Structure 1
Amino acid sequence: MSALINQPFPAKDMSFQYISIGPEDFAEKHGACKMPQTVAWDKFIKENKTVVITGAPAAFSPTCSISHVPGYIAYADELVQDKEVDQILVLTVDSPFALQAWAKDLGVKDTTHLKFVSDAGAQFVKSIGFELPVGNGVNWSGRWAIVVKDGIVTYAAKEENPATDVTVSSVESVLAHL
């Protein structure tokens, strides 16, 4: 069991970035993205009653793109409508530009409730102990899931083998803990 459970969400003085996606982003093909928005974690958690966050090692990587993140996309409506989740975040240490491209590639057409967020530098994932060291001092995010209700972590688990496992971080596991 994670030491994060039953504790306040631990991201004081940290932020994440994301690029919103809406219908206007599909109207015209052009190579440029919008500029990223920077969001303070404490403000974001305070503004949303229930937040699901799942960490993934890298945008466009095989396990992330085939079996991990597509589950969150497929169950987004159930999470939001039936389980009353305010926000679903897919977090990696990739740039927000790569994350927007990945989200669009996976079929995300609106980021009102489902955001692909960047923890560039791995500050947040290192602070919770969910980083994945890949050599030469570089850290990616491991594969994990956290549920936050009213600012308190109610579920937190990371995969033992983040390269291939999608068990405790799966949308089905999160659904079972909501």
Structure 2
Amino acid sequence: MIESGNRIPSVGIKLVTVAGVEDTTSDAALGQGTVVLFSVPGAFTPTCHVNHLPGFVANAAKMRASGVDRIVCAATNDHHVMKAWAEATNALDDIVFLADGNTALAQALGLDKDMSGTGLGRRFARAAMIIRDGIVDAVFVEDAPGVTASGAPAILMALEAAA
């Protein structure tokens, strides 16, 4: 699993932004400035949709005030699903969505999780990280169901503590 001090790997991904969908690489999307990346098992899934994403939308201004240049939500859904989720939640003004449909980034980060038992296949583990100029500053991975360590309040506290 990726750790503090590691560089973000370079794999092909799709970004969903206000401007549309863009093919790029993970290091290009996450490698400049201060980035908060949070990963969810799936768009529109109950915990991700109700508990994880909304906290980042609600705290986006506070994170930016703490020096964050970009907030990115990653999931192993395709870019069509990620775009629909971004639009349905009105989050595109605050969050960039990263589609990792083939789990290439999840695997490269060591944050992939086999959720075949629930019919979801391989997915991102629920996690978050603070990245500064392409180098991981801190990683927060949930060790139980729910959103605590990787939620917006915990990341905001970590950002404020580092300031």
C-alpha RMSD of matched pairs (Å): 2.0
Task: Summarize the alignment of residues 21-100 of structure 1 with structure 2, pairs less than 5 Å apart.
Answer: 21=18, 36-46=21-31, 48-80=32-64, 82-100=65-83
Q: CA deviation at 1:42?
A: 2.1
User: 2: CA distance between counterparts of 1:4 and 1:109?
Assistant: 28
1:17 to 14, 18, 27: 14
Question: Does the CA contact (< 8 Å) of 1:18 and 1:96 recur in 2?
Answer: yes
Q: CA deviation at 1:150?
A: 2.3
Give CA-to-partner distance per residue, 1:117-149, whole Å, 9 cap, x none: 101111111122211202289311110001101
List runs of 5+ in structure 2 lacking aligned partners: none
User: 2: CA distance between counterparts of 1:20 and 1:6?
Assistant: 28
Give CA-to-partner distance per residue, 1:86-139, whole Å, 9 cap, x none: 1111000101111111111112252xx521110111111112221120228931
Secondary structure at 1:19's aligned position in 2? strand
2:97 to 96, 113, 116: 116
What is residue 173 of structure 1 aligned with on the other side? 154
Structure 1 residue 141 corresponds to structure 2 residue 138: no
User: 2: CA distance between counterparts of 1:139 and 1:157?
Assistant: 19
List runs of 5+ in structure 1 lacking aligned partners: 23-33
Letter in 2 for 1:89: V
User: 1: CA distance between counterparts of 2:18 and 2:29?
Assistant: 18
Total equivalences in the alignment: 157
Give the TM-score taking structure 1 as reference length.
Answer: 0.80
Letter in 2 for 1:15: G
Secondary structure at 1:52's aligned position in 2? strand
Letter in 2 for 1:79: M
Q: Compare CA radii of gyration and give the structure with the larger one.
A: 1
Question: Does the CA contact (< 8 Å) of 1:18 and 1:100 recur in 2?
Answer: no
